[in-house]
Amino acid sequence: MSTVIPFESAKPAAEAAPERVGVLLVNLGTPDTADAAGVRVYLEEFLSDPRVIEDQGLLWKLILNGIILRVRPARKARDYLKIWNVEKNESPLKTITRSQADKLTADIADRGSLVVDWAMRYGNPSISSRIEALAAQGCNRLLVVPLYPQYSAATSATVCDEVFRVLAGMRAQPILRVTPPYYVEPDYIEALAGSINAHLASLPFQPELILASYHGMPKAYVEKGDPYEAQCIATTDALRKRLGLDANRLILTFQSRFGNAEWLQPYTDKTVERLAKEGVRRIVVVTPGFSADCLETLEEIAQENAEIFRHNGGEQFSAIPCLNDSDAGMDVIRTLVLRELQGWI
């Protein structure tokens, strides 16, 4: 004979958590401290990623641990100190990415089901910690936003790799979306053009030409099928058309090469040097491959390349800030996010 449990004594089912959507902005990463120890931890994680250095064989491990991690951290720490946000004791990249997340939160505050957070692919806050935090807030849908206008396996794809790794360890996985690259989105090109024009109007000199400098990549990666170079070219072509400049007035270059392999050319530093030696006296550099100012823009371009230019005869050099958390920059991020959230909110 079956037993009937009185209604009043039945144990109520656990209430389902309210459904929310998490939006995770992700940038490349930064050391936690501007000293050799902090840079060493960051470089080890970064250079051990097979998306960044594809050949992770024994020879590379010997070079990485026997040479690079012994020599490079102290030198790069000195570079970080030149741009470090002393007030917050963090790199500008971390300061700006946090502000982008805060401003996006304010921009979409009327949509109560959304929770915005931010992370770094390498360093802190980690992708895993922020996905866990979003899950704890009831986010069962997740939009990941790699903050790279142009796609490459070494940036966008490795963000996805890490997200997938984190999700593989979760029993209750969120539904996942990832925003696409936005290298020729009209809002992005318009924001870049507006930033360039505003910066030029603020200068006490008229540049003879503009360099559009993108982060470099080993040529072999492109030959294997990475679309990064083609997307950098597309961005530059769109900017030329929008600004009414030809290829001699807006020149595409690639910076930040590493190691002895051939990287995408022309190289930014070699181009800056050549232009100065050829008699060009006034140039401006824009970095359309970076969504936020960082070591590569604030130190490598604005300081190191400026010195190369002046050392070889150049006179006036100016680096245009990235879109960062400017109104135009936030318009680009907000438009991208809201478009990719269609059907979820």
| CA dist 122 → 2, 52, 71, 115, 167 (Å) | 59, 12, 20, 22, 17
Binding residues, as ranges, are 215, 296
C-alpha of 169 from chain center:
26
pLDDT at 19: 82
Domains of the chain, each with CATH number or no CATH: 186-319 (3.40.50.1400)
Q: Which of 106-110, 193-197, 214-218, 241-245 has the lowest mean pLDDT?
A: 106-110
Q: Which of 6-20, 49-63, 256-270 has the lowest mean pLDDT?
A: 6-20
Neighbours of 53 (CB within 10 A): 18
Which whole number is the average pLDDT over 324-343? 97
- Mean pLDDT computed over every residue of the chain: 94
**Nearest partner of 286 among 194, 179, 221, judged by Cα:** 194
DSSP states of 211-274: EEEEE--BHHHHHTT--HHHHHHHHHHHHHHHHT--TTTEEEEEE---SSS-BSSSBHHHHHHH
Residues 6+ apart with CB under 8 A from 130: 24, 117, 118, 119
Whether pLDDT at 146 is above 60: yes
Q: Which of 8-12, 38-42, 153-157, 316-320 has the lowest mean pLDDT?
A: 8-12
**Nearest partner of 166 among 142, 137, 138, judged by Cα:** 142
Which whole number is the average pLDDT over 325-342? 97
Whether pLDDT at 240 is above 60: yes
pLDDT at 5: 43
Binding residues for Fe(2+), as ranges, are 215, 296
Q: Are 290 and 233 in contact (CB under 8 A)?
A: no
